[in-house]
Structure 1
C-alpha cells in the first residue's frame, strides 16, 4: 500500500476541514470539506486567506496569534470561533491547531483541523441559559442547593447557598461536622434527628433551623434526599436550603399580634362590661398577663393633680410594700406621662406609662412592665395607644352616663310636672265641664221658650266643642309620651263605619250635603284589631270632611287585600269641600297646625286631629296620606294592618258591657288564686265564683306551694310580683316538684304589660298570661282553654234584678265597676267589701310608701306602689292607679329620688278616688 496515497485519501475524505496556511495566513492546502464549509469550489479556495473567513475582531486576534506563533507560541487547546462563509453568513467552528516544521525545526506553516460546532453551540447556549434561569430562581426564592458525598464527607454548595449565609465557596463548610457547628444550639437536635432518620429510612427529610450567617442567624428550611449503592449503603445526600427568615419573623410577629389581640379583646370586653373607669382599671393587672411578655400593670387615679395608686385589695398594697424601689420608679414614670400628656418609656427595663384621657382631661395613668425587657417598636406603641383609647372610651361613657342620668332625672321631673299638670287640668276643667254639659242636657228637657232653647243649645254646642278640644290635647299628650295603648279584639267593620257616620249624619243633613259610607265586598265580615282607635281616625277624617264641605258630598270607602297572615285595610275619605293648597300640604300632619290661620277662626279646632290620626295609624301598622280630590276637595287615605278572624270563632258581644257569665259547666272545678293584694283577691274571687269555680286563696308563692302540696287544683291564677316568693320562682318550684307527673295549668296575672313579660312568664313555666285589671271575658277564655270547658252564653232571666248602666263619671271606669257589681245580680256585697277594703288600706299604704322613700329603699317602694296600682285598676280608679304607677316606674329605675314630690299627687288622687267610689256606690245604694 502506498502510504502517501493513503494519507492523501484520509485527508481528502475527512469529515473535518483540513487547512494548512503559512505564517502570513495564506492558504497552502485545503481539503474539499473545508471548501464546502466556505461555500466555494475546491479550486477557488486556494485563493482564500485565513483573514477572509474572520470578522473584524477575529482578524485582530489572528494577527496577534500569528505573531505569537513566530515566537514559538502555539495554542494547544481547542478554540471556538465564528467562521465567515463566502456569502457572508457565519457558523460556529471548533479549531484544533498544530505546527508544521522544517527539518531544522522552525515553524513554516500551521495546520488547522476544523469541525462545525453550530448544533453543539446551540445546546451549550441552552444549558447556559437554563443555568442562569436556575440561578435567578434560586436568588429570587432564596434557595441554594448542596450535595454531600457521605463516603468522602465532602459538601459542595451552589453559589446561592453560600450567598444566603454571606459566605464564599472557600469559606463554606466542607464537612458535615463543620456544617453542624453553624446550627443554632436550640435547633441542633432537630437537624441531626432529621438527617439520621433519613439515612436510616431512606426517605426524604425536612428540617427548620436557625443557621449562623456572617451577620445574623438565618431561619432555614432544609430539604434532602438520600442515595444508596447497590448494597443499600448511603453514598450521598443532596438537597436545598431556603432562607425563610422573613416568613418566620412574620410568623413570630403574627403570634405576637395574636397575643396582643387576646389582650386587646380582654381590654375591650372589660371596657364594654365596666360601669365605671375604676371597674376596668381594677382589672388591669389580670389582663396584661394575657400577653406573654408583660408581667405587671399598675393604675393611678388622678386626685387634685396628684396620682394615687389604685388598689383592688390589701394584697395589692402589700405587693407594693414588698417592691418599694420598683413602685417608686413606676410612680415617677407615671408622673412624667401625666405632666407630658403623652406616653413615656423607660428603656433600661422596658416600662410604659400612658394616660387615660377624655376631652383632653387625664382621668388615670397606667404603667406596664415587661419581662424580659422589650425593645420599643411601633407595634407596642400602637397597642398601648389602642388600650389607652379603649380605656378613654370607658371614661367617656361614664361621663355620658352621668350626663344622661342628669338629663333623665330632669326629663322625669319635667314629665312628672307635665303629668301632674295634665291630671289637674283634666280634673279641674273636665269635671265642671261635664257638669255644664249634663245640666244643659237636663235644661233642654224642660219647657223653654224659643230664645231660651236657642241659648241652651248654644251652651251645649260650645261646651261639647270645648270638651273635644281638651280631649284632643290630653290624647295627644298621651301619644307624645309614648303611652298610646292598643287592644286586639274581633269586630265588624261595617257596623263600626255606619255608627261613626251616624254621629256625623245630622250635621251633614243640616248643611245639605250627602254622607255616603261604602264597604267593599273584599272586606271580611269580621276583623281583628282595635275598633276604638280605628273609629277615632275615621271619625276625625269624616268630621273634618263634613266641617270643610259646603256643597256636594262626603264619601268614606273601605277595602281590604290579603297581607301576611291577615289583611291590609284601606280607608279613603273624600269630600268636595274647600281643598288644600299645595303650599299647605307639607304641614298637614304636624301638631297644632291647620291650613292657615283663617281656617282656625272660621271653622275652629286645635289642629291636633290629623296629628293624632297619623300617630294612631302608624301604631296600627299603616300609613296616612293626602291627595287632591278632582275637580275640587280633598281625599285622605289611610291603611291599617288587621288580623284575620276564624270564621268559627264566637261573634263579638253586641252589648255595651259584659254579660253575666255562665256557671253551668264549672261547678266542682277548683282554682287557686295566688295574690298578695286583698282587693285583687276579692275581685278575682268574685269573678271566679260568678263563673262557678271553687276558689282558694294564697297570699304569696310560699303559701301557694304549701297549699298545692296538700291538694290539687284545676288551674292556678298566679300574680307575678309578691313578697317572700314571687310568681316566677313559685312556678319554677312547682314544676320541679311535679317532675314528669301531672302538670297544673298556671295562668300569670301581671300589671306589667310590656314587651317580653309574656315570654318571661312562659320561660318560668307558666302556661298563659293575663294583664291586670283582669277582663272577665279574657279570664273566661283562658280558663276554658285550660279546663277544656268552653263558656256558654249567659241566659237572661226576667226574675234577675239587672241594674241599668251607670252614667259616666270622670276619673272612674264605671264599666268595670258595673261588671263587678253585676257578678251576682242583686247582690253587691263583693264590690262593697272590695271598695271598703280599698278605702281602709290606702292611707296605710301611702305611709308605707313614704317610709320607703325616706329610707331610700327603691325596691320596697316599687312593690308597695305596684300593689296599690293593682287595687286601683281593679276598682277602676284610674287616676289613683296612674299616680301609683309613677312611683312604681321610679322604683323600676332603681331610685327613690323625686319620690317625695310624687306623694302629694298620689294622696290627692287617692282622696279623689275614695270620693268617686262613694259616689258610685250611691248610684245603687251600696256601701251603707
Structure 2
C-alpha cells in the first residue's frame, strides 16, 4: 500500500525531495540495523563495505535515499536463499561532480537479460512464478528508479540468471570532499544473539502527535515514544487531533483510523485542507481492499497495519524523524528492542495461538504473561498500566452494556473495538478474541448476533478484572506461563 501511495505521488509530481546535509555514517548505520535481522533470519552474510575514500557528509534527501537502499537490500535478501548480500560503497566522478555508488550485490536467483528490460516497469516482476513465490507489488524497483532520478542520480542492474545480481544506485554527493574529513570506519555495531537484551533507547528527535481514544493505549504510546527521545502529545479523538495539530508544531502524526467524533481519515483530510503538511501515518487493524485509496485521498503519507511489524515501523520513524547522533553509534541494535515495544502499542489483532485452557477459576490462564511482557517490556510498566486498564475499561464496559440494551450497533462496534485492542495489550487473549467477534457483529448491524457474544464477553471481562485485582496476579500468571512452557 505504501508503494502504491509513493508511486501515485511520483506520477502526480507531488513527491517532494528535501536536500539537507546528512552524516553518511548515520544513514549506513540505520540501513545495517534494519536489514541485518532479515538477513540473519535466512542465515545470509550481510555486510556494508567501502573503499575508504568517502566523504563524512553528503547533501541529499536522507529519507528517500534510505528508502532506495532499503528497497534494494530487502529485494536482495528476498531473492537470495544462500550466500551473501553486500552493500558496497565507492566514490566516482562524472566530470567535476563527485558521486557515491551504492552497489547491492547478492548471490541470489539472478535475472535474465530479457527480464532485466521488464523489471523497472510498474507492477512488474521477473516472471509470474516470482510473484507467486516471493510476493510483492512489482513497484519497489520502479519507485527506487524514479527516486534515484529525483535525487539527481540513476539506477542500474547487472545480473546473470542463477548467479546473482548487482543493483547500482549512483547519486551525487553535492559536497566538496576536500573540505571535510573522510567517512569514519566505526559506523557499525556488531550483532550478537543478545542484541534484544539491550535496554538503552534508540533516540530520535522531534515532536509527535498520537491520535488514540483508548486511555491504556495512550499511556503505552506516550511511555514508549518518550523513552525513544520523542516529545509526545495525545489527542483523544479526531476533533482533538485536528485542534492540536493546528495550534502546535509536530514532526510526525500517528493517526488511528477508528476514533469517536471524527475518524482518522476525516481528521487527516481536514488537516490537509488547512494546509498542514506534517507526515501522517495511518494506523488501522486490518488492511482491507480500498484502504490504500482512502489513505491517498485523505492525504496520509504512510500506512501501517496493527499489530505493527517492527521493521516496517522502524523504517517509517527513520524516514520521517532524525536520530540523535550521540546515541546512534553507542547502541544501534537497541532499536530493535525499542521498536518491538512501540510496534505493540495500540495493537488490535487477536492472538492466533489457541488458549489451551478455558475452564473457570484461577487455574485457567486468564492472562497470557508472555504476550503481556512482550508488549509492555518490563514488570514496572505492567504495574503502571494495569490499574489504568482496569479503570478505563470498566467505564467502557458500562457504555458497551448501554449500547447492547439500546441496540446501537455503531456504539457496539466502537466499544468492542477498544476492548479488543486493550485486551490484547494486557495479554487477555480470550477477552480480545470475543471483542473482535462482537466488533464484527456491530459492523454487520446484527444485534441478535451481538447479544450472546456480549454475554460471553461480560463473563470473560469479570474474570479478567477479578484476576488482575488480586495482589499476587503477576506471580500466578508467570507460574502459569512457565507450566505451559514445560508442558
TM-score w.r.t. the length of structure 1 is 0.28
Q: Does 1:686 align with 2:223?
A: yes
Q: Is the 8 A contact 1:751 1:870 kept in 2?
A: no
Query: Could you list the per-position Cα deviations for residues 657-708 of structure 1 after superposition, in whole angstroms to 9, with x for gaps in the alignment?
Result: 57546344x24x1111111110110111112011110111111111122212
Determine which of 439, 455, 474 is the counterpart of 1:921. Answer: 474
Q: How many angstroms does 1:866 deviate by? A: 0.8
Closer/same/farther in 2, CA of residues 872 and 778 from structure 1, 3 Å limit: farther
Q: Which residue of 1 aligns with 2:81?
A: 523
Determine which of 203, 207, 224 is the counterpart of 1:670. Answer: 207
Determine which of 728, 744, 761 is the counterpart of 2:295. Answer: 761
Determine which of 248, 255, 274 is the counterpart of 1:711. Answer: 248
Q: Which residue of 2 aligns with 1:733?
A: 270
Q: Is the 8 A contact 1:718 1:748 kept in 2?
A: yes
Instruction: Give the distance between the partners of 2:429 and 2:83, measured in 1 at CA.
Output: 34
Determine which of 241, 262, 277 is the counterpart of 1:743. Answer: 277
Determine which of 381, 394, 397 is the counterpart of 1:846. Answer: 397
Residue pairs, 1:64-463, within 5 angstroms = none
Q: Does 1:782 align with 2:316?
A: yes
Closer/same/farther in 2, CA of residues 493 and 770 from structure 1, 3 Å limit: closer
Q: Is the 8 A contact 2:189 2:332 kept in 1?
A: no
Q: Is the 8 A contact 2:43 2:82 kept in 1?
A: no
Q: How many angstroms does 1:893 deviate by? A: 1.1
Q: How many angstroms does 1:562 deviate by? A: 5.3
Closer/same/farther in 2, CA of residues 661 and 779 from structure 1, 3 Å limit: farther
Q: How many angstroms does 1:891 deviate by? A: 1.3
Q: Is the 8 A contact 1:745 1:766 kept in 2?
A: yes
Instruction: Give the distance between the partners of 1:736 and 1:744, measured in 2 at CA.
Output: 12
Instruction: Give the distance between the partners of 2:381 and 2:441, measured in 1 at CA.
Output: 33
Determine which of 817, 832, 849 is the counterpart of 2:372. Answer: 817
Determine which of 228, 232, 238 is the counterpart of 1:695. Answer: 232
Closer/same/farther in 2, CA of residues 726 and 522 from structure 1, 3 Å limit: closer
Q: Is the 8 A contact 1:671 1:715 kept in 2?
A: yes
Q: Which residue of 1 aligns with 2:38?
A: 490
> Residue 490 of structure 1: SS of its match in structure 2?
helix
Structure 2: gaps (5+ residues): 1-36, 45-78, 86-106, 112-123, 136-164, 170-187, 335-354, 357-364, 479-487
Q: How many angstroms does 1:494 deviate by? A: 5.3
Q: Is the 8 A contact 2:211 2:255 kept in 1?
A: yes
Q: Is the 8 A contact 2:403 2:409 kept in 1?
A: yes
Q: How many angstroms does 1:787 deviate by? A: 1.3
Point out which structure has higher relative CO (alpha carbons under 8 A, 6+ apart). Answer: 2
Determine which of 410, 423, 426 is the counterpart of 1:875. Answer: 426
Instruction: Give the distance between the partners of 2:251 and 2:418, measured in 1 at CA.
Output: 26
How big is the alpha-carbon RMSD for the aligned residues of Structure 1 and Structure 2?
4.3
Q: Is the 8 A contact 1:773 1:870 kept in 2?
A: no
Q: Is the 8 A contact 2:246 2:271 kept in 1?
A: no
Instruction: Give the distance between the partners of 2:447 and 2:371, measured in 1 at CA.
Output: 32
Q: How many angstroms does 1:908 deviate by? A: 3.2
Instruction: Give the distance between the partners of 1:620 and 1:883, measured in 2 at CA.
Output: 34
Determine which of 387, 398, 414 is the counterpart of 1:863. Answer: 414
Closer/same/farther in 2, CA of residues 853 and 776 from structure 1, 3 Å limit: same
> Residue 723 of structure 1: SS of its match in structure 2?
coil
Instruction: Give the distance between the partners of 1:916 and 1:654, measured in 2 at CA.
Output: 35
Q: How many angstroms does 1:493 deviate by? A: 5.7
Give the number of the structure whose residues are more often strand, by fraction: 1
Q: How many angstroms does 1:755 deviate by? A: 3.5
Instruction: Give the distance between the partners of 2:272 and 2:463, measured in 1 at CA.
Output: 44
> Residue 253 of structure 2: SS of its match in structure 1?
strand
Closer/same/farther in 2, CA of residues 885 and 620 from structure 1, 3 Å limit: farther
Q: How many angstroms does 1:760 deviate by? A: 2.1
Q: Which residue of 2 aligns with 1:362?
A: none
Query: Could you list the per-position Cα deviations for residues 44-87 of structure 1 after superposition, in whole angstroms to 9, with x for gaps in the alignment?
Result: xxxxxxxxxxxxxxxxxxxxxxxxxxxxxxxxxxxxxxxxxxxx
Instruction: Give the distance between the partners of 1:834 and 1:646, measured in 2 at CA.
Output: 47
Q: Which residue of 2 aligns with 1:721?
A: 258
Closer/same/farther in 2, CA of residues 894 and 697 from structure 1, 3 Å limit: same
Q: Which residue of 2 aligns with 1:901?
A: 452
Query: Could you list the per-position Cα deviations for residues 744-773 of structure 1 after superposition, in whole angstroms to 9, with x for gaps in the alignment?
Result: 011112223434334422321111122334
Query: Could you list the per-position Cα deviations for residues 773-824 of structure 1 after superposition, in whole angstroms to 9, with x for gaps in the alignment?
Result: 445554433221111438944578xxxxxxxxxxx9956554553345447x
Closer/same/farther in 2, CA of residues 881 and 656 from structure 1, 3 Å limit: farther
Q: Which residue of 2 aligns with 1:413?
A: none
Closer/same/farther in 2, CA of residues 822 and 849 from structure 1, 3 Å limit: closer
Query: Could you list the per-position Cα deviations for residues 101-152 of structure 1 after superposition, in whole angstroms to 9, with x for gaps in the alignment?
Result: xxxxxxxxxxxxxxxxxxxxxxxxxxxxxxxxxxxxxxxxxxxxxxxxxxxx
Higher-Rg structure is 1
Question: What is the total number of aligned residue pairs between the two structures?
Answer: 293
Q: Which residue of 1 aligns with 2:96?
A: none
Instruction: Give the distance between the partners of 1:522 and 1:839, measured in 2 at CA.
Output: 48
Query: Could you list the per-position Cα deviations for residues 306-337 of structure 1 after superposition, in whole angstroms to 9, with x for gaps in the alignment?
Result: xxxxxxxxxxxxxxxxxxxxxxxxxxxxxxxx
